[in-house]
Amino acid sequence: MSYEVKGWCPGAHRPMMSGDGLVVRVRPRLAELSIPQALGLCAAAQQFGAGLIDLTNRANLQVRGVSPTAWPDLMAALEGLALLDGDADTEARRNILSAPLWASGDDTQRIAGALTDRLAELPALPPKTGFAIDAGTGPMLGDVSADFRIERGADGGLILRAEGRGLGAPLAPGTEVDALIALAEWFVASGGTQAGRMARHTASLPGWARGTLAPAAARRPLAPGAGPLGAVHGAGFGQVRAKDLAAALKASRARALRITPWRTMILVGADPAAQPGLIWNPDAAELRLDACPGAPFCPQSSIETRGLALDLAAAVAGTLHVSGCAKGCARPRVADVVVTGREDLYDLSFKGRAGDHPAHRGLTKSQLLHQLGAV
């Protein structure tokens, strides 16, 4: 089965059609929503969509199942909640991922805010270009896609690191955004637009940006349980029912909702306690398995994915990726076992990505389960 590469990510101004309707992405600043914003978004997802909210690996939220006729009403609701950028260009440029444990007035909040204020100074970059502001006591976002990273360095200062390079350049306090914009300008001038992503751009960095410092020791991603800011809850395969999230926010008396890139969310200020409809078990399979929405939710998929991933979970010791098509949206990285749907059948590969040449091609579901010892 062929698939279509969009070359861009859905937004609110520019949603993407899926099998269950439009996918409308909301990008809360610093990945945080006030309780009125969060409850308003839950209500809008139920009124104008399918009542489902995705947590993305960019710490954004997606309202699913929005009909084209309901989209203008959803946009009006988002604008009323102050969750809408002024235009599609600003929305696309504001692809800023912030370390989720930021505190008011710290380096992460300061730099992310300054970069947001200066987005217009950036050159025209490829559509998926991302910025990671990871300035806590140690980087947390190393496993999340980004092209330009501002991180805590091993010497305790901040560094600017180009994706794909192990070392970063030291930054003087107050110059962080100036340096990031300058590196973005170099990226474009040196042919980075043709490469598409910084990690694929092989040109030598300018002398001032060549790395001399390693990042500080990495901090672990947040898992369900008690966290430094409140209760951390998970969303199975990164999806939660809006009514469950709204109920949890009210019952927990949280002060805010903060989204992470790891299918988890922080109910800021909430006591650590399980909430119906959210995941409290840090070892839940739905948090470690990678599976796209699949059929019937994606028109490019011919197979159901998430139920299959759960069926295979106990039989796969390492990482598992179940993809509805060769595009592999759910996991761009290599997985130990990869199942890819193709024309209602299954391709099976190992130590690879969706779309790689399979070790076994065109399996039925029964053959797939037997091949992996899941029966």
CA 205 vs CA 158, 167, 267, 284: distances in Å = 18, 12, 41, 42
Task: Place 299 in a pLDDT band, splitting at 50, 70 and 90.
Answer: confident
pLDDT digits (tens, 9 = 90+) for 306-365: 999 999 999 998 999 999 999 898 898 899 999 999 999 999 999 999 989 999 999 999
> Helix 35-48 to helix 71-80 angle, to the nearest 10 degrees?
170
pLDDT digits (tens, 9 = 90+) for 194-205: 999 999 999 999
pLDDT digits (tens, 9 = 90+) for 90-110: 999 999 999 999 999 999 999
pTM of the predicted protein model? 0.92
Q: Are strands 256-259 and 32-34 parallel, antiparallel or unpaired?
A: antiparallel
pLDDT digits (tens, 9 = 90+) for 109-131: 999 999 999 999 999 999 889 99
CA 192 vs CA 123, 135, 183, 199: distances in Å = 12, 25, 11, 10
- Fold adopted by 16-85+223-279: Sulfite Reductase Hemoprotein; domain 2 (3.90.480)
Whole-number pLDDT of residue 8: 60
What is the secondary structure of 203-262 as a DSSP string?
A: SPPPGGGS--BPBPPPPPPP-SEE-SSEEEEE-GGGEEEHHHHHHHHHHHT-SEEEE-SS
Residue 45 has φ and ψ, to the nearest 5°, of: -65, -35
Number of C-beta neighbours around residue 39 at 10 A: 18
**Where in the chain do CATH 3.30.413.10 domains reside?**
289-371
User: Residue 372 pLDDT > 70, yes or no?
Assistant: yes
CA 242 vs CA 33, 48, 249: distances in Å = 14, 12, 11
User: Residue 264 pLDDT > 80, yes or no?
Assistant: yes
**Lowest mean pLDDT across 230-244, 261-275, 291-305:** 291-305
CATH for 289-371 is 3.30.413.10
Q: Which tokens hold the place of 282? A: 């840090």
Helical (H) or strand (E) element with 42: helix 35-48
Residue 225 has φ and ψ, to the nearest 5°, of: 135, -170
